[in-house]
Amino acid sequence: DDGSRLWLNKQRGACTAKIETSDKSDIAQTAVSELAAFWNGCDIILSRDKSLPDNDGFKIERSGKNGSLIVKARRSAGLLYGAYELLRMQQTKGEIYSGKTGQDTNLSAADNKFRISPSVCVSSSSPAFPYRILNHWDNPDGSVERGYAGKSIWKWDEINGEKGTMSMDLKERLTIYCRANASIGINGSVLNNVNASPYILTTEYLDKIKVIADMMRPYGIKTYLAVNFASPMAAGGLETADPADAKVKEWWEKKVKEIYKKIPDFGGFLVKANSEGQPGPGDYHRTHAEGANMLAKALAPYNGIVMWRSFVYGNHEGEDRVKQAVTEFEELDGKFADNVILQSKNGPLDFQPREPYAPIFDRMKHTPMWVELQITQEYLGQSRHLVYLAPMWKEFFTFVSPQQLQGIAGVANTGDNTNWCGHPFSQSNWYAFGRLAWNPELASDSIAREWLAQTFTRDTAFINPMTAVMEASREACVDYMMPLGLHHIFKADHHYGPEPDGLYPNYPIEWCPVYYHKADSLGIGFDRTRTGTDAVGQYRHPYDSIYNDINACPEEYLLWFHHVSWDYKMKNGKTLWENLSAHYNRGVDEVRRFIGTWQRMRPYVDTERFMIVSALLDHQLENAEEWRDTCLGYFGKISGKIQETATETSANLPQDDGTQPAILQGRETDRP
Ligand code: BDP
């Protein structure tokens, strides 16, 4: 299995069932054709129902007499999601029987059949967020920022904008993309990088984008674009991009009109402004609100939205980087137009293996908020390490209630590699993102089980141990990279290997590892307490005082909030240094354990994927050892806990010199 079909049904069913609907929409027709192709069970009726709440949800019921099923939904999209729910049940549980014999139980796994209960409602579900969106960081030149699975999936050369066509190859590939997204409830895609090229808004590109939008629409997926705030200059020839300038406003209004003429249900713009060198309203002494509202006004007549990112730093000289989003946005709370959403990363820094939640979610009381999660594993071993991210995202939702959010965005991990995501297990992160975007209450292990069953096999001898591996994998990564609240000790810019001594004269200090761990002969960690940078002060009560108090602060965040002496006694009675070593070692041991488990999975997995995952896990183990030895070597030297020099300690270790394991050669990695 080359992994190209993701978790989708691999075999067309020999469906003799009748699938019927009176809904003529393209989306409902997609639902019918998916069921007709893959369903192996009773007859199904898809029916719109105005009495249901106005969202993408659905209900599945037995229709009575002949044991057929009825999927009810207010919207056509709900019919599609209901259809996929049935296919998921079939794929994870086995052939479905709809209870003619009156039995109310699932048959045993050995029977590979699942009996639908004769009780009235089989399943009922509606999404937690109306907006469930992928953010692609794809550039028009085909490269992908932080992409680890090849080049962009959008093959612009294969799209003929004038004729409105795309190559057969691309169509086939993007159909899988659409089906995969729809199967997990994703209903929007931002096609391009937040570091946006202005050329994406040229008519040439818009014509091609229309072709993509037309293809995604029948799957319920709306098209969005990331825009460069200075587009009126670069793509429109104006001398300014000042949001208060009449010509600038007019340029955006015309551009928006042009877009909606081509794509009547276009979703809106995503904007990274005045962040990491991107242009923005600040260039003209205007606020984020003034910039966002200008775009929002142009989009409002068409029901378009502006997703404005809060990922900013560097505009407040000397201030702790993790505080700057709140500093910059809090005073603008309530000043944004109704169709502006503030999109914030889950943590206050930048997608680290573990961060406390971002306090901006506590501070913005009058502004609709979305969370941005990173599916692509920029800081978690890229697509070379097996790291399942659902436990990390679930952790975020224990601090920030889904009810506070209007939408959820995930930075995609897709590329043109045959298997889409590089590592076969990285597909699970795309899957889990969609499932949690639909229902953040789902347990991460049940999502893992679902994904494993659909992607590999339903055999519990495989699913049980591999679910355990997936569930443990994120904590293992934290342990071998940055335990106890350490963060950002990655090698310059490519964010892959360790570089605890990193201090680069030509980069901002906020990019340097030494700025984040602050290790010295006395201790280690970033003092963000009241007497330090007071980042704790941005948190709602009681987190502000919990994080401020070294004895109350959860140990997994200890070095995020405190500068702690090497001999500090932790809860288990051992010193900080001893605990640090234990965590690094545990991380490595865990990867070794994952390898042992995987080796026992050989009978359940096709050779192709078995070999790839084996090679990747070996590579992960080497990397984990490198992380441990480099970090403990360096910190050991600084603290005086290890007598020999760090260079001697790490001299014999495999170094990450950027070479890839043979099996991966030729893949995109390490983009600055
Ligand atoms: C960082 C990435 C960088 C992105 C930036 C962002 O390293 O490539 O452009 O975030 O989110 O994580 O804007």
**Same domain membership, residue 625 and residue 522:** yes
Do 62 and 117 fall within a single domain? yes
Q: How many domains does the chain have?
A: 3
200-211, pLDDT tens digit by residue?
999 999 999 999
Is residue 477 domain-resident? no
* pLDDT tens-digit series, residues 391-401: 999 999 999 99
Nearest CA to ligand 1 atom 10: 350
pLDDT tens per residue, range 435-490 = 999 999 999 999 999 999 999 999 999 999 999 999 999 999 999 999 999 999 99
Rounded to two decimals, the pTM is 0.94
> Is residue 350 included in any domain, yes or no?
yes
Residue 385 Cβ < 6 Å to ligand 1: no
Q: Are 249 and 328 within one domain?
A: yes
Q: What CATH number does residue 600 fall under?
A: 3.90.1330.10
pLDDT in tens, 547-593: 999 999 999 999 999 999 999 999 999 999 999 999 999 999 999 99
Asked if 102 and 135 sit in the same domain, the reply is no
Instruction: Give the pLDDT band of residue 492 (cuts 50, 70, 90).
Output: confident
Reduced to 3 states (helix: H, G, I; strand: E, B; else coil), residue 374 is strand
Q: Give 208's Cβ-side CA count (13 Å radius).
A: 20
Is 84 within a domain? yes
CATH code of the domain containing 171: 3.20.20.80
Confidence of residue 97 (pLDDT cuts 50, 70, 90): low
Q: What's the CA gap between 541 and 502, in Å, rounded?
A: 35
- The pLDDT value recorded for residue 94 is 72
Residues 286 and 365 reside in one and the same domain: yes
* CB of 460 closer than 6 angstroms to any ligand 1 atom: no
Would the pLDDT of 104 be above 60? no
* Cβ atoms 536, 548 nearer than 8 A: yes
State the burial class of residue 49 (Cβ atoms within 10 Å of its Cβ: 0-12, 13-18, 19+).
Answer: middle
Report the share of the chain in percent with pLDDT over 70: 91
> At which of 69, 97, 125 does a domain end?
125
* pLDDT digit string, tens, across residues 234-271: 999 999 999 999 999 999 999 999 999 999 999 999 99
Confidence of residue 40 (pLDDT cuts 50, 70, 90): confident
Ligand 1 pocket, 195 CB below 6 A? yes
pLDDT, average across residues 645-652: 39
**What's the pLDDT score for residue 645?**
43
Top mutation candidate among 276, 278, 322 for ligand 1, by most atoms within 8 Å of CB: 276
Amino acid at 298: A
> 426 and 290 in one domain?
yes
Pairing relation of β-strands 222-227 and 188-190?
parallel
- The verdict on 190 and 286 lying in the same domain is yes
What mean pLDDT, rounded, does the chain reach? 92
- The Å distance, Cα 228 to ligand 1 centre, comes to 15
What pLDDT, on a 0 to 100 scale, did the predictor assign at position 249? 98
> For atom 12 of ligand 1, which residue has the closest CA?
350
Within a domain: residue 176? yes
Residue 351 Cα: closest atom of ligand 1: 12
> Does any domain span residue 191?
yes
pLDDT at 662: 46
115: domain CATH number? 3.30.160.230
Output 282 or 648, whichever has higher pLDDT. 282
Of the candidates 79, 103, 125, which is a domain's last residue?
125
- pLDDT attached to residue 114: 54
| 109: pLDDT strictly greater than 70 | no
pLDDT in the model for residue 67: 75
Q: Which atom of ligand 1 is nearest to the CA of 493?
A: 7
For residue range 312-369, list pLDDT tens digits in order.
Answer: 998 898 999 999 999 999 999 999 999 999 999 999 999 999 999 999 999 999 999 9
- pLDDT tens string 64-96: 667 789 999 999 999 999 999 999 998 998 755
- The reply to whether 304 and 204 lie within a common domain is yes
pLDDT band at 101 (very low <50, low <70, confident <90, very high): very low
On whether both 421 and 517 belong to a single domain, the answer is no
What gap in Å lies between CA 99 and CA 64, rounded to an integer?
11
pLDDT score for 671? 30
CA pair distance 288, 278, nearest whole angstrom: 13
Decide if 478 is inside a domain: no
Tokens of 428: 């699970």
> Which of 108, 125, 142 is the last residue in one of the domains?
125
- pLDDT of 450 reads 96
Contacts of 361 (CB under 8 A, 6+ apart): 344, 369, 371, 399, 400, 404, 405
Domain holding 514, by residue range, is 484-526+563-664
Task: Note whether residue 259 is domain-resident.
Answer: yes
Which residues pair with residue 128 across a beta bridge?
none
Distance (Å) from CA 310 to ligand 1 centroid: 12
Q: Does residue 351's CB lie within 6 angstroms of at least one atom of ligand 1?
A: yes
Other residues' Cβ atoms within 10 Å of the Cβ of residue 551: 6
Are residues 150 and 81 located together in one domain of the fold? no
Is the distance from the beta carbon of residue 327 to the nearest atom of ligand 1 less than 6 Å?
Answer: no
Please indicate whether residue 311, judged by its CB atom, sits closer than 6 Å to ligand 1.
yes
Q: Are residues 140 and 286 in the same domain?
A: yes
Pocket probe for ligand 1: among 145, 192, 307, the residue whose CB has the most ligand atoms within 8 Å is 145
List active site positions.
276, 350, 378
Residue 594: the pLDDT is 98
The reported pLDDT for the residue numbered 107 is 38
- Whether 510 is in the pocket of ligand 1, judged by its Cβ within 6 Å, is no
Joined tokens for residue 262:
């081509």
- The pLDDT value recorded for residue 225 is 98
Question: Do 389 and 500 have their domain in common?
Answer: no
Closest CA to 462 of 599, 563, 264, 302: 599
Question: In whole angstroms, what is the distance from residue 351 CA to residue 353 CA?
Answer: 7
Backbone angles phi, psi at 662, to 5 degrees: -50, -40
What pLDDT is stored for residue 116 in this prediction?
57
Q: Which of 135, 143, 146, 308 to mutate to test the pocket of ligand 1 (most atoms within 8 A of CB)?
A: 146
The pLDDT, as a whole number, for residue 200 is 97
| DSSP three-state, residue 228 | coil
Q: Is residue 550 part of a domain?
A: no
Q: Is the peptide bond before 542 cis (omega within 30 degrees of 0)?
A: yes
